[in-house]
Structure 1
């Protein structure tokens, strides 16, 4: 009888040790998997959930994720129901983002790069507000290069060029958001 209790005790300890080891391995695998996720993956996992993006020092954009590319996110703004395009590198803080993620291979990721999205906006000839690290520019995107875009500024908010209009070059690295006027 005494040996049976000893063996039962040893078996119980062994099972407990196996469970603890399995739990530790599972936690390590979960941490390793999480370490592979990008902000774009998590934004894709947000679905139509309401988020607030803190971009730059004072710009806050609230809305639902519409589309996510490798280097940008399109947000349907809550206040205006208009589309805002934000480079992922410009995002400082995201409020409301869950821990859910959808890696690119599991979802429809836009194959468009940021430059392609900006070229689409330029083709529309719509007046946009560019928020940059150097300030705000109101105008039409005239051309998009690899690392910069040209904007025909409309300083008074007119729909066509007026005295004081200028052709400005905005670097992609300074771009915080592209918003409809």
Structure 2
């Protein structure tokens, strides 16, 4: 009888050790998975639930709030909630922090793989599309200045913007000036009219 209890205790001890080892392996696998997770994958997961309100703190001290409506490899578009305006494009380099309810933050930690088109849609790609469409924008710089007008050209590391009131078309007689802005100085690009990004 004592031997039966002795063997049962040994068996329980082995089961406990195996379970602890399995839990340790699962924990380590989760740490490795999380270590490989990118901001693009987390923001892609957030963008798939339009009910999630993201609070995006920018490096210039401004804040953009709303659901993430599109994500690229180096940018996120936040719906500012205005019917007359479009989304706000924010380069990842201009993000200081992203806030959201804790449950949504935890869900975003699962990540979501971006699609093949999404992986190629860099900020420069999207800006060149805005050039083609002649969309009026307001570009905010790291210095806190707003430049309103139409982007004339978007190069690999900078853009040219013709300055004019957003409520008027880009015509030479209405342009008040031109600026060349390095993309590193761009904090956000607010689309002054609704335009589908993807």
Q: TM-score, normalised by structure 2?
A: 0.81
CA distance in 2, matches of 1:72, 1:10: 56
CA distance in 2, matches of 1:83, 1:131: 14
Give how far 1:163 is off.
8.2
Unpaired stretches in structure 1, ≥5 consecutive residues? none
| Correspondence 1:64 to 2:76 | no
Alignment-derived partner of residue 82 in structure 1: 86
Query: Structure 2 matches for 1:1-181, cutoff 5 A?
Result: 1-46=1-46, 47=48, 48=50, 49-80=52-83, 82-96=86-100, 97-99=104-106, 100=108, 101-104=111-114, 109=118, 111-134=120-143, 135-154=145-164, 159=168, 160=171, 165-181=176-192
CA distance in 2, matches of 1:79, 1:180: 11
- TM-align CA RMSD: 2.2
Length, aligned pairs only: 179
Summarize the Cα distance change of 1:158–1:76 in structure 2 as closer, same or farther, 3 Å threshold.
Answer: closer
User: Secondary structure, in 3 states, of the residue corresponding to 2:118?
Assistant: coil
Unpaired stretches in structure 2, ≥5 consecutive residues? 193-198
Give how far 1:109 is off.
2.6
Cα deviation code 1:107-153 (max 9, x no counterpart): 87353111110011112223211011122211211111110001112
Give how far 1:56 is off.
2.0
Cα deviation code 1:78-129 (max 9, x no counterpart): 2456211111111111111523310226x87353111110011112223211
CA distance in 1, matches of 2:45, 2:81: 19
Give how far 1:164 is off.
8.2
Q: TM-score, normalised by structure 1?
A: 0.88
Which structure 1 residue ranges, 4+ long, deviate > 6 Å from structure 2? Answer: none
CA distance in 1, matches of 2:163, 2:62: 21
